[in-house]
């Protein structure tokens, strides 16, 4: 609760009260794992045409993002509140104090926040509350400035006094609805959405990888299923025997990712609205998918597969471009309880609408804009009350020792749909290649999401570009901005690691 409310202040562009989140919670005493879905919902008044300019033309991405149309019912506050009621030890109001005090006293604007504001000025200008906070007197806040957010402090003080449910039926929900419906891109949220909002406890999705059990968040996130598919396919490729620093190895990993992303587009969306094939993580299926990979050859015929339970008559792949905002953190307490939480307002600064000291999400643009393709309905189309598909992949890994399992690693990352690769690659490095967690996070990214071969620029991996071009992949050198955070449980104690590409840290006491 404290980490999230402070992040909502100091990293407001990425996550906060106006967004949604997924959490994995491991209870050390009960040795049980739970996953909680605090994903935003589409307004009850919305329709599958939400992001269509006309019958056949989807809106331009940023036209859809900026303004009220993209705002889903926020889930993060309810998630924190429900988890606190179930598992919390310290009083709720104590947990909000650090963020309240920091918001009143002011915090130092970080380089990343300052750069993000400078880059996004033209969009941040469009809402007067957003502009007043990030562009006071028309000038962007700067690195090192002391920034106070007294309105956020007031909002948190109300939540401290009345509890998390207050957010959903009060001047806060009213202010959100008023902002969304009065925005130039009028949105469809209403108080009925807040009344209906529920945090859903779902079964974690776990898949084996060597002698580990890798557990994560199931649909509406595609995270755990796609990560599990990549790992399962790679185990069939004997990834533990491959050279971790060879372009040929990363071509095999890229092919596994292409296969997983093809299935993801076809099959994954909110499970309360579509039926998801049961066989996506079955070993027999992953073995057959692995046989579609030929080392040092690009498979030009990749498509989704046919796992047990797949029905083709109603579903179709869409196009839902998740963006790179988001935060991830892992916390382990002295009893060994673990939280792995990924939290987001979607795009950097979300919908750019600010209410009561926090930004509102644009999570609804994680839906497919097109409701149908080739006469078939898209699985991840907008529907009233539905949760947009995510890629967030908060993960906890257990080592299997005989019939027992003990936690060995917890991690996750921001990064839109690249989250899947960031997490899967870190797991290959640590679990199959036995690399240290920090070294795994520091390694260059080579990513293929069933599209171009993305190679992280300013790393040694740029030397592999020709190798991939010669195999007919289209390549691109670019910044690949992961924000991995994790804790590894080693023989000698816990090792924390944080991605140097962003501003996270690991701390222990
Ligand atoms: N909005 C990013 C994600 O949910 O994956």
HEC profile of 255-321: HHHHHHHHHHHHHCCCCCCCCCCHHHHCHHHHHHHHCCCECCECCCCCCCCCCCCCCCCCCCCCCCC
| pTM of this structure | 0.97
In this prediction, residue 325 carries a pLDDT of: 74
Q: What span, in angstroms and rounded, lies between the C-alpha atoms of 236 and 291? A: 9
Rounded alpha-carbon distances, angstroms, from residue 409 to 215, 225, 243, 426, 486: 10, 18, 23, 11, 7
Mean pLDDT of 39-58: 96
Percent of the chain that is helix, strand, coil (3-state, to 5): 35, 20, 45
What is the pLDDT confidence band of residue 319, given thresholds at 50, 70 and 90?
A: low
Mutate to test the pocket of ligand 1, among 366, 386, 422, 482 (most ligand atoms within 8 A of CB): 366
Lowest mean pLDDT across 20-24, 402-406, 419-423, 496-500? 402-406
In this prediction, residue 402 carries a pLDDT of: 86
Mutate to test the pocket of ligand 1, among 41, 346, 349 (most ligand atoms within 8 A of CB): 346
Length of the chain: 509
366 lines ligand 1 (CB under 6 A): yes
Q: What span, in angstroms and rounded, lies between the C-alpha atoms of 87 and 255? A: 41
> What phi and psi, each to the nearest 5 degrees, are found at residue 178?
-60, -45
Rounded alpha-carbon distances, angstroms, from residue 209 to 47, 212, 214, 322, 499: 40, 5, 7, 27, 24
CA angle 157–151–75, rounded 5-degree value: 65
In this prediction, residue 509 carries a pLDDT of: 83
For residue 127, the tally of other CB atoms under 10 A from its CB is: 25
In this prediction, residue 315 carries a pLDDT of: 58
In this prediction, residue 311 carries a pLDDT of: 76
In this prediction, residue 273 carries a pLDDT of: 97
In this prediction, residue 318 carries a pLDDT of: 61
In this prediction, residue 465 carries a pLDDT of: 98
70 lines ligand 1 (CB under 6 A): no
Is there a contact between 130 and 349 (Cβ–Cβ < 8 Å)?
yes
* Alpha-helical regions (H) of 51-170: 61-65, 76-87, 92-105, 111-119, 121-124, 128-134, 150-162
Q: What span, in angstroms and rounded, lies between the C-alpha atoms of 64 and 466? A: 37
Which of 401, 221, 33, 424 lies closest to 411 in space, CA to CA?
Answer: 424
In this prediction, residue 473 carries a pLDDT of: 98
> What phi and psi, each to the nearest 5 degrees, are found at residue 335?
-85, -10
Q: How far is the CA of 466 from the centre of ligand 1 (A)?
A: 32
Model confidence pLDDT, tens digit, residues 235-277: 999 999 999 999 999 999 999 999 999 999 999 999 999 999 9
In this prediction, residue 324 carries a pLDDT of: 60
Ligand 1 atom closest to 347 (CA): 1
Q: What span, in angstroms and rounded, lies between the C-alpha atoms of 266 and 262? A: 6
* Residue 176, pLDDT above cutoff 70: yes
In this prediction, residue 97 carries a pLDDT of: 98
In this prediction, residue 160 carries a pLDDT of: 98
237 lines ligand 1 (CB under 6 A): no
HEC profile of 450-461: CCCEEEECCCHH
Is there a contact between 509 and 488 (Cβ–Cβ < 8 Å)?
no
In this prediction, residue 403 carries a pLDDT of: 84
What is the pLDDT confidence band of residue 145, given thresholds at 50, 70 and 90?
A: very high
* Residue 312, pLDDT above cutoff 90: no
15 lines ligand 1 (CB under 6 A): no
318: tokens are: 């869409």
Mean pLDDT of 115-138: 97
* Percent of the chain surpassing pLDDT 70: 97
Radius of gyration of the chain (CA): 22
Catalytic choice (5, 73, 326, 342): 326
What is the pLDDT confidence band of residue 184, given thresholds at 50, 70 and 90?
A: confident
- 264-276 burial, b if ≥16 CB within 10 A, otherwise e? bbbbbbbeebbeb
Q: How far is the CA of 419 from the centre of ligand 1 (A)?
A: 9
Which of 145, 156, 152 lies closest to 117 in space, CA to CA?
Answer: 145
73 is an active site residue: no
120 lines ligand 1 (CB under 6 A): no
Mean pLDDT of 366-371: 95
Model confidence pLDDT, tens digit, residues 83-126: 999 999 999 999 999 999 999 999 999 999 999 999 999 999 99
> What phi and psi, each to the nearest 5 degrees, are found at residue 41?
-115, 150
Is there a contact between 258 and 446 (Cβ–Cβ < 8 Å)?
no
Which of 452, 347, 341, 280 lies closest to 62 in space, CA to CA?
Answer: 347
In this structure, what is the dihedral angle of CA atoms 118, 123, 129, 135, given to the nearest 10 degrees?
Answer: 20
Mean pLDDT of 329-341: 97
Is there a contact between 278 and 308 (Cβ–Cβ < 8 Å)?
yes
Q: List residues bridging with 245 in a β-sheet.
A: none
Mean pLDDT of 309-338: 78
* Residue 323, pLDDT above cutoff 80: no
């Amino acid at each position: 609760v404290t980490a999230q409310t402070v992040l909502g202040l100091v990293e407001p562009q990425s996550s906060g009260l106006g967004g949604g989140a997924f959490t994995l919670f491991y209870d050390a005493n009960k040795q049980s794992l739970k996953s909680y879905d605090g994903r935003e919902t589409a307004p009850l008044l919305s329709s599958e045409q939400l992001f269509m300019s006309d019958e056949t033309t989807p809106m331009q991405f940023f036209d859809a993002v900026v303004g009220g149309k993209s705002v889903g019912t926020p889930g993060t506050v309810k998630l924190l509140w429900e988890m606190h009621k179930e598992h919390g030890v310290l009083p709720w109001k104590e947990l909000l104090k650090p963020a309240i005090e920091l918001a009143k006293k002011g915090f130092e604007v970080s380089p990343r926040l300052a750069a993000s504001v400078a880059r996004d000025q033209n969009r941040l200008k469009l809402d007067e509350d957003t502009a007043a906070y990030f562009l006071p007197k028309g000038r962007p806040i700067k690195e090192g400035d002391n920034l106070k957010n007294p309105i956020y402090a007031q909002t948190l003080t109300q939540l401290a006094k009345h509890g998390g449910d207050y957010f959903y039926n009060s001047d806060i929900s009213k202010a959100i609805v008023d902002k969304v419906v009065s925005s130039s891109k009028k949105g469809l949220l209403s108080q009925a959405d807040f009344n209906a909002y529920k945090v859903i406890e779902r079964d974690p999705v776990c898949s084996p990888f060597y002698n580990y059990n890798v557990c994560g968040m199931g649909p509406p996130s595609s995270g755990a299923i796609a990560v599990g598919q990549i790992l399962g396919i790679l185990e069939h490729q004997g990834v533990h025997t491959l050279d971790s620093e060879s372009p040929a190895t990363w071509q095999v990993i890229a092919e596994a990712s292409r296969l997983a992303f093809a299935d993801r587009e076809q099959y994954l969306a909110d499970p309360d609205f579509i039926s998801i094939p049961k066989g996506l993580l079955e070993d027999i299926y992953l073995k057959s998918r692995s046989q579609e990979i030929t080392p040092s050859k690009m498979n030009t015929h990749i498509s989704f597969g046919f796992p047990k339970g797949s029905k083709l008559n109603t579903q179709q792949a869409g196009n839902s471009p998740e963006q790179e905002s988001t935060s991830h953190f892992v916390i382990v307490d002295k009893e060994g309880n673990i939280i792995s939480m990924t939290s987001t307002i979607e795009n950097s600064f979300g919908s750019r609408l600010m209410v009561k000291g926090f930004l509102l999400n644009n999570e609804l643009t994680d839906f497919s804009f097109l409701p149908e393709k080739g006469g078939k309905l898209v699985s991840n189309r907008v529907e009233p009350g539905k949760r947009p598909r995510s890629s967030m992949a908060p993960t906890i890994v257990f080592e299997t020792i005989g019939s027992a399992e003990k936690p060995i690693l917890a991690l996750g990352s921001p990064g839109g749909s690249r989250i899947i690769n960031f997490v899967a690659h870190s797991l290959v490095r640590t679990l199959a290649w036995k690399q240290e967690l920090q070294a795994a996070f520091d390694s260059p990214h080579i990513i293929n999401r069933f599209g171009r071969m993305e190679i992280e620029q300013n790393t040694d991996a740029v030397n592999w570009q020709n190798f991939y071009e010669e195999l007919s992949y289209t390549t691109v050198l670019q910044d690949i901005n992961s924000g991995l955070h994790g804790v590894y449980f080693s023989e000698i104690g816990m090792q924390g690691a944080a991605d140097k590409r962003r501003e996270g840290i690991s701390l222990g006491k």
